[in-house]
Amino acid sequence: MININLPNDIWSVHDSIKLQKEIMQFYNLSFEEFLQKASTSIYEKIKKIYPNLKNWLLLCGHNLNGLYGYSIAILAYYEGYNVNIIDSQEKIFFKNQYIDSLREIWKRTGKKIYSLNSTFPKANLIIDALLGDQLYVFYKEKYEKIIKKVNMHHAKTLSIDIPSGLISETGNTFGETIQADDTIIVLFIKPGHLTGKARQYIGKIHYIHLNMNNWLKRKKSPIQRINTNFLKNKLLPRSPILHKGNCGKILVIGGYKGTVGAVYMTAEGALRAGAGLVKILTHKENIAMINITVRPELMVNELTKFNLEKEILWSDVIIIGPGLGKNQWGKFAFLTVINSKKPILLDADALSILSEHTYKNNNCIITPHPKEAAVLLNVKIQDIENNRLSIAKELRKKHKGIVVLKGPGTIIASKKKIAIADIGNVGMATGGMGDILSGIIGSFMVDMDLFTAASIGCIAHGAAADFLAKKKGTRGLLATDLFKVLYKFINPRFLKK
């Protein structure tokens, strides 16, 4: 899922409510005027998305979404659409007077207001204005039944702001969740639009700025959406007089018996991302295999105490973990590396070993997937998925440095900034993808601050995978396939096209 035309600022629900009040004040709009402006814009957008669908069914809650829903229904009715409303009939929203007023206007059309338990009227478009992001605390079992009916219905489904059941703050769900074909967002992108389970339910995103984008651009959120545009702004041409010695010397440590593939993919990932020299320290049984069957550009040696101390001094950046193992062999390497002063990236088995230590280092990047994050925090995997943003912050607080919490909508967290990578696809759910990501990030750690290096690495990695998925599909995508196209996303002259 690539959302090209969205703003980069991502706001919490609390901040979006506050900013909506500020924006109304700035443009001297009453709540009724704002509602009319937003509803009209949503209505016009729906007509553009589905120009041939004329039988609309709106599911309306008693919240801002419900107000949008009623307003849209009234506009559509008077333009000749066949429109029906199902009303949640809750009395919980602070602006009930507006719902009551719109209901009266609707009643004057002579049209019936259906309840949640009603049989669905004829519809080829269902518009979900039921729960929204301000009402999830009131989610009740009775909504599950209607959401199931919507998901089983043949009609197209469009959600306003966020599919009912999906939580704007986290991207987690309550249970049954609307499976939207399209979602229209007004003004404020939230974390739950981009991370967690969002991609499973949100469909194609359409953004409406209400011609208020000049004001919105003045506001900056600490949470940023990043995509390939981030690469265009951050990747600069290299000096024409560089040589291999100052393009980065990367030391990759890992590969116990039988796990040579992981350490190799990390090392080649670093090479492909532009590192000048890459050395592998691995188990002695792997050396011949690497020398014979993989990249001749890679240097390889046995992981011993002497070699490790020597190569740490040689290196600019150290990546440790892929295929490392959790035995004494891996633990001795881990403890030696974390006592060095070099920039470090910890991945895979190094994260398991890290869970046994109270290690904090601002010159370090950790790259856990949800299971590894659960081990680091001694919680269940579901706890990680329930609130990925909060978990990334907690990991950062515990270990300092930069956290890359992998998964759909990968989160990159520093002390003051958070980025959500709006890139990648399900084809990346295959062995080796994380190993290559570590190599790519490690390469950029040589001459960039760690947050930028991690962000660029995640975007270049995801962009390469998206390019291949668009060309060949997601099934059967191999991690090493990325090597063939990665250059397109790390060289400025290709990015400008």
**pLDDT, tens digit, 9 for 90 and up, residues 227-264:** 999 998 888 888 788 888 888 999 999 999 888 999 99
Alpha carbon distance 67, 72 (integer Å): 9
Q: Is 434 annotated as a binding residue?
A: yes
First and final CA of the chain: distance in angstroms?
Answer: 20
Domains of the chain: 9-221 (3.40.50.10260), 230-246+268-277+336-495 (3.40.1190.20)
Summarised one tens digit per residue, pLDDT across range 467-483 is 999 999 999 999 999 99
For 113, the enclosing helix (H) or strand (E) is strand 113-114
Annotation-wise, does 262 bind a ligand?
yes
Polymer length of the chain: 497
Query: Which among 99, 69, 101 has a CA at the least distance from the CA of 86?
Result: 69
Q: What is the mean pLDDT of residues 119-132?
A: 94
Q: Which of 208, 310, 191 is nearest to 251 (CA)?
A: 310
Rounded mean pLDDT, 403-430 = 98
How far, CA to CA in Å, does 209 sit from each of 30, 38, 64, 93? Answer: 17, 9, 17, 25
By CB atoms closer than 10 A (0-12, 13-18, 19+), residue 476 is exposed
320 band by pLDDT with thresholds 50, 70 and 90? very high
Contact 427, 473 (CB under 8 A): yes
Most confident of 41-55, 79-93, 278-292: 41-55
Nearest one of 238, 266, 241, 271 to 254, comparing CA atoms: 266
Is 439 annotated in a binding site? The answer is no
Residue 409 marked in a binding site? yes
DSSP codes, 416-477: S-EEEE----GGG-STTHHHHHHHHHHHHTTTS-HHHHHHHHHHHHHHHHHHHHHHH-STT-
The residue whose two tokens read 């002390």 is 415
The reply to whether 274 sits in an annotated binding site is no
The reply to whether 121 sits in an annotated binding site is no
